[in-house]
Chains A and B, each alone.
Chain A
Amino acid sequence: GNSVTQMEGPVTLSEEAFLTINCTYTATGYPSLFWYVQYPGEGLQLLLKATKADDKGSNKGFEATYRKETTSFHLEKGSVQVSDSAVYFCALSGSQGNLIFGKGTKLSVKP
């Protein structure tokens, strides 16, 4: 079945460091891919998405490229801020309009 694997956390970085959170997927067909962010005490918010191979999603300085050949959708940001501290979830679209999530990666950014 469809599944998502993302790197285990927690990830701790200093402010202005480069961020990569790895995400790979297994799926039949051509799902859409998503990154969601969950700030402490809040629900999930859509950060970015890509709907077909080679698409690049971007938002708030974050980027991820849909790589069909490596079945990956890694999240990157060139310079993280303390306000980026959150849990990040990679997800793919299921066949019934649902989302299939990875386990989440907690990011802590220190000043």
Chain B
Amino acid sequence: EAQVTQNPRYLITVTGKKLTVTCSQNMNHEYMSWYRQDPGLGLRQIYYSMNVEVTDKGDVPEGYKVSRKEKRNFPLILESPSPNQTSLYFCASSFWGRGSYEQYFGPGTRLTVT
């Protein structure tokens, strides 16, 4: 089954404790990205990657890092989480089809930073 998986699905942590949210896709897509979803703000892109070893900042990159060492994986790293990073995070992978990129989203990771 074609899918994007994220782990963990839920995480409660404390300020300053480094964490990584994993993302993996099995569709051989080149393009992957991370979004955060906050009430009243919709989804905003954090980072994206056009291919292996190619990453770039989205609209809200501060406080986050990413890496793309393999095509299928795109982990999101919070080196020193803060309470304002409490949010719902979505990983997505994309392919070009029918005249545009089409994005597949993972199920989400709900992060709480206390």
> Which of A45, A93, A98, A102 is the one whose CB lies under 8 Å from B58?
A98
Main secondary structure of the interface of A (DSSP, over half): loop
Main secondary structure of the interface of B (DSSP, over half): strand
- Considering only CB atoms, which chain A residue lies closest to B101 in the complex? A97
Residue A46 at the chain B interface, CB threshold 8 Å: yes
Size of the chain B interface, CB-CB below 8 angstroms: 25
Chain A residues with Cβ below 8 Å from B98 are: 49, 51
Q: Are A43 and B45 in contact (CB under 8 A)?
A: no
Tell me how far the C-beta of A2 lies from the nearest C-beta in chain B, rounded to whole angstroms. 11
Chain A residues with Cβ below 8 Å from B84 are: none
- Given contact pairs A43-B108, A104-B42, enumerate 12 new A-B contacts (beta carbons under 8 Å): A43-B4, A44-B90, A44-B105, A46-B102, A89-B43, A93-B100, A93-B101, A96-B56, A97-B101, A98-B33, A102-B42, A103-B42
